[in-house]
Chain A
């Protein structure tokens, strides 16, 4: 796919981007949206199905109350108005992964409307307006067998797994976001990041993009700078990581600018994002799109959330990520930039846990953003995937603070923890990592160092006190780092300078 692209910075000299996001979140309810089947991920195909989610003749849906509750909580967290009367609607179209020939969704009477989410990029706040949050059911999953691409074209045959069919899906639709300019790709990413964190905080979904429990469609359009009208948008599907959200917007901006520069016009269409190249390619054109013939679902009674119940749900919301960040920033005395690093590193939760387990905020940050970030990077895993708990990190920090180990020994203790040898204190014990006091062993090591370097001793005695460092190094080496450097220096000074 080699389409002409305009340099990103160049795009912005002539065009203003407008973005919009449609995010689908699979709710973490025990059972599916309209039947009692389990929603567990990864089971053998078609083992989690029943007459309802297979769309067998005669079967009827019954709405999952827990899913309705989750949707309302998401709506509340996004500052939405919660409808007092809402209906499901049928979205009619034929596809093998749609068992009923329609998807039960919501159309003109969604559960939540008119909310917003503020996101921060480089210290600036952008308000993303939320148009609606509605509830629907997921489709089955097609598996195209044969052919090179795994897509339907060129496949020999296709199989359908209905385990996913009927899993409750919340769709969160933004209003068009204009005015972000060069930051548009980052705003898109920041929005999805923040949304993901909110939903995680609510416990409504595990929001794992790689498993598809959070999926993003990204709309992008360009308008000439100064134009009052927005351009034609494309909808990029299959954007399955935070990084991809940013890349997809960036790519579409560059591609569309090239089309417009060449005097072409943007076709309103669905495009597919390619993870490997970071590019998009055309899918089906919206101009020939199906008429979904929405109408109110007659098999389901309308939802009428009681105002008092909604108030109770609102009062029961947990502290949301933005409020939590503000509070922690205040408590820990961090600058906005320091906070941003912490958040971007995905370390906020573990640092908070480490502080809660007794470490100072500074030490906790130092550990997670320093040594542990390095280890995670080396191992190629997420910081939070390291086999060490915030409590263990706090213990490590305490061992240093109380002088039981020095920094170098602490890192060795961490090796042990990561290797599964137990808690830091136990590793210090079993590996014999504790700092040596003024023991006979240390006195002997100091004596050996002085005896082995008469020239250095002479220099020190001759006034070049900084030469003492070489002797400290020798002692540290002899004790394999187990000595406390300050103690060693004091002992050497006593012996060599007699002070």
Chain B
């Protein structure tokens, strides 16, 4: 075989099934590329090379390679707990922790025969849009090493776009799968809230967190989605419903026929009168993407969702509030680092010192924000009010879905920005999530699919669907992908050649 790292998961599946290669060869090719490239890219926090090769050999020996995802390597965002494998959530406070158990999605991937390559970098506790908030490393965008790979799942986006892994899992709380996918030219899907287990996903904001696939093609993403989805009795918020048939939807969409499909373009997300902060190149590529949908037979109309403009402030009250509570368990008593336990500090001081030194500035900022928003006397004005906005946003979606089957918008208002450009300006950083937040707050599925380049950098188109209609996202995304001719990341290959 030629370069195995250039193949999509679907192509690898075929090659494995045909016996043209082995899981060990595929795994080794990716490990070699990690060894060669990751020093510059910084996608991985931990590479499980030996375990990966051993696992690949096992899969080869079992004769299952090529069935489903068996034998295909994957990377996991370091937010997923993996038994015996260091798990940090990008935070110093968990340095050295080897969990005694595995996340449900990690177990499902293992059961499916995938080969874990390692754990990818991320913004600390998934708080950020550039992966610059990682306590450990700067991750670079494979399209331009001076730019951010998006975040918080930036290690996963860089790994897949940089061909260090064919597939990766990310998590999305306010856009952390879709935005990094958009700025690195990948497909990234945030499933319906509750349709993928959160058990073993280190919580940032419990009512928003969802795990989802990141891949170079829509079909690859769909394969990974089906492998991780479905009810989990360990997650009380998990929906007991069949996994949407997203693979079939992706294949169907690739046929390029969207006749009869009603598409709504959200005015409040980059439309007339709501273009502040949006780059012209992004708006142009998005408009072209919408034109492609129309050309494929979709009926396109503009739709207004007036409450979407309130998503950002609501999100930055709800997510930090839940985070302030979710992160309380990191106090140095049972796992991770412990600071000040030298006999001169009491237990309260040890907890405080551990948190002082273990958490980075963005995490502290959000803990303080959330603690304040939940305080007696402020709860109703902040957390309570934000929950009401959330209801309004859900109503906007419901009303819109009376008239259209899916909603579309740009995924991110801008392309990848230079590393360091927004570090001193949290509000500019938060604005990166403008388009992705409404679907997060409403719990509905949303996908980002590449729709071209602006100044040589990828632009993403977001497709949102009603809850549990994830298949629509895949169908529309596949149609866009088919209309563009080839995966956007192929341009990176051409550039390298």
Instruction: Show the binding face of A for B, using Cβ within 8 Å.
Output: 51, 54-63, 90, 92, 94, 96, 99-102, 158, 160, 291, 293-295, 298-301
Contact = CB atoms under 8 A, between A and B. Distances in A.
A56 B101 contact: yes
A100 B347 CA distance: 16
A60 to B, nearest CB: 5
Interface string B339-375: 0000000011001000000000000000000010011
B165 interface: no
A481 B351 CA distance: 75
19 contacts: A54-B334, A56-B81, A56-B101, A57-B202, A58-B80, A58-B200, A58-B202, A58-B203, A60-B235, A63-B236, A92-B325, A94-B331, A96-B347, A101-B325, A295-B325, A295-B383, A298-B205, A299-B206, A299-B237
A100 B328 CA distance: 6
B232 to A, nearest CB: 9
A56 B99 contact: yes
A300 B103 CA distance: 18
B293 to A, nearest CB: 35
Given A55-B334, A293-B325, A293-B371, A298 B207 contact: yes
Contacts of B89: 57
Contacts of B200: 58-59
B85 to A, nearest CB: 13
Nearest to A50: B101
A92 B322 contact: no
A58 B99 contact: yes
Contacts of A62: 233-236
A96 B206 contact: no
Contact of A299 (B94, B236, B328, B348): B236
Given A58-B103, A298-B206, A100 B333 contact: no
Contacts of B260: none
B286 interface: no
A103 to B, nearest CB: 11
B236 A94 contact: no
A61 B233 CA distance: 10
A447 to B, nearest CB: 86
B417 interface: no
B374 A293 contact: yes
A448 B327 CA distance: 94
A63 B237 CA distance: 11
Contacts of B201: 58
B136 interface: no
A291 B103 contact: no
Contacts of A99: 329, 333-334
B358 to A, nearest CB: 13
Secondary structure at the B interface, as helix, strand, loop or mixed, is loop
Chain B interface size, under 10 / 10 to 19 / 20 to 34 / 35 or more: 35 or more
Given A58-B99, A291-B375, A160 B333 contact: yes
B179 interface: no
B199 interface: yes
A300 B348 CA distance: 29
B339 to A, nearest CB: 15
B328 A59 contact: no
Given A60-B235, A96-B347, A295 B100 contact: no
A102 B325 contact: yes
A60 B333 contact: no
B347 to A, nearest CB: 6
Nearest to B101: A51
A298 B199 contact: no
B198 interface: yes
A295 B321 contact: yes
Contacts of B99: 51, 56-58
Contacts of B321: 295
Contact of B87 (A57, A158, A299, A301): A57
B376 interface: yes
A94 B199 CA distance: 24
A298 B100 CA distance: 24
Interface string B209-243: 00000000000000000000000011111000000
B333 A96 contact: yes
Nearest to B194: A301
B160 to A, nearest CB: 23
Interface string B309-325: 00000000000011011
Given A56-B335, A102-B328, 17 more contacts: A55-B334, A56-B99, A56-B101, A57-B203, A58-B80, A58-B203, A60-B234, A62-B234, A62-B236, A63-B236, A94-B348, A94-B351, A99-B333, A101-B328, A293-B376, A293-B379, A295-B325
Contacts of A158: 347
A99 to B, nearest CB: 7
B328 A94 contact: yes
Interface in B289-323: 321-322
Contacts of A51: 99-101
A105 to B, nearest CB: 13
B375 A100 contact: no
Closest 8 pairs (CB-CB, A-B): A101-B328, A298-B206, A293-B374, A298-B207, A58-B81, A58-B200, A57-B202, A101-B329
A90 B97 CA distance: 26
Nearest to A100: B329
Given A101-B328, A291-B376, A299-B237, A59 B207 contact: no
Nearest to B333: A96
Contacts of A57: 81, 87, 89, 94, 97, 99, 202-203, 329-330, 335
A92 B328 contact: yes
B126 to A, nearest CB: 12
B236 A293 contact: no
A56 B328 contact: no
Nearest to A158: B347
A58 B329 contact: no
A459 to B, nearest CB: 87
B209 to A, nearest CB: 9
A42 B187 CA distance: 53
Contacts of B236: 60-63, 299-301
B496 to A, nearest CB: 37
Given A63-B236, A99-B334, A299-B236, A56 B325 contact: no
